[in-house]
Chain A
Amino acid sequence: DVKVTQSSRYLVKRTGEKVFLECVQDMDHENMFWYRQDPGLGLRLIYFSYDVKMKEKGDIPEGYSVSREKKERFSLILESASTNQTSMYLCASRGLHYEQYFGPGTRLTVT
């Protein structure tokens, strides 16, 4: 079974803090993704990576950066957290048939 894990299920941070969300997949997938999910807005793509050290902006990259130093690990960084970044963050990796496997999600609250 494909496994995608995320570093935390719940996280509470203060405004202005730097936040690291980590994602690890164990299927040797080349493509990995970060989304946020908000009620009424569905899934929105923040960034994706198609190879180590490669990244592409998604629909809403502002306020976020990413890092992919190893194939299995894709990190999302909030440089200076703001309250409008309170959300559920979902990491995914893409399989052979373009299906995506998601992690359990990190519910981030910025106060």
Chain B
Amino acid sequence: DAKTTQPTSMDCAEGRAANLPCNHSTISGNEYVYWYRQIHSQGPQYIIHGLKNNETNEMASLIITEDRKSSTLILPHATLRDTAVYYCIVRGYNNNDMRFGAGTRLTVKP
């Protein structure tokens, strides 16, 4: 699986968009980008995934650059409940394993 690099921490004001970057310069053609988050003392939560097109669901949007070497997860209107560690994972579609890196600790402030 390709290695990912994320900032250690970020702050965001409540109600504003949170933009979380992820670098994955060694991504290969058949690898997808997945985003998860983990709120303190809870299980990880799947957010969104994509291959090369931008994706949007009820939780977030995922923007993947044309060269696929980086991506951004966007939470359009962050709330205090979005405070969590966000993990960007790049893996092949048929890879069963789930390895989280250190992730980005997002703190949403009032």
**Which parts of B12-64 form the interface with A (CB within 8 Å)?**
32, 34, 41-46, 49
Kindly list chain A residues whose C-beta atoms are within 8 Å of the C-beta of B49: 97, 99
User: What is the total number of residues of chain A having a CB less than 8 Å from a CB of chain B?
Assistant: 24
Kindly list chain A residues whose C-beta atoms are within 8 Å of the C-beta of B94: 98
Chain B residue nearest in CB terms to A58: B97
Contact with B32, one of A4, A48, A92, A98 (Cβ below 8 angstroms):
A98
Kindly list chain B residues whose C-beta atoms are within 8 Å of the C-beta of A35: 98
Cβ contact within 8 Å between A105 and B42: yes
Taking Cβ atoms with an 8 Å cutoff, the residues of B that contact A are: 32, 34, 41-46, 49, 91, 93-101
Taking Cβ atoms with an 8 Å cutoff, the residues of A that contact B are: 4, 31, 33, 35, 42-43, 45, 48, 50, 58, 90, 92, 94-95, 97-105, 107
Kindly list chain B residues whose C-beta atoms are within 8 Å of the C-beta of A102: 43-46
Cβ contact within 8 Å between A98 and B100: no
Chain B residue nearest in CB terms to A100: B98
Known A-B contacts: A92-B43, A97-B93. Give 4 more (CB < 8 A). Answer: A43-B44, A43-B98, A90-B43, A99-B49
Kindly list chain B residues whose C-beta atoms are within 8 Å of the C-beta of A105: 41-43
Cβ contact within 8 Å between B42 and A92: no
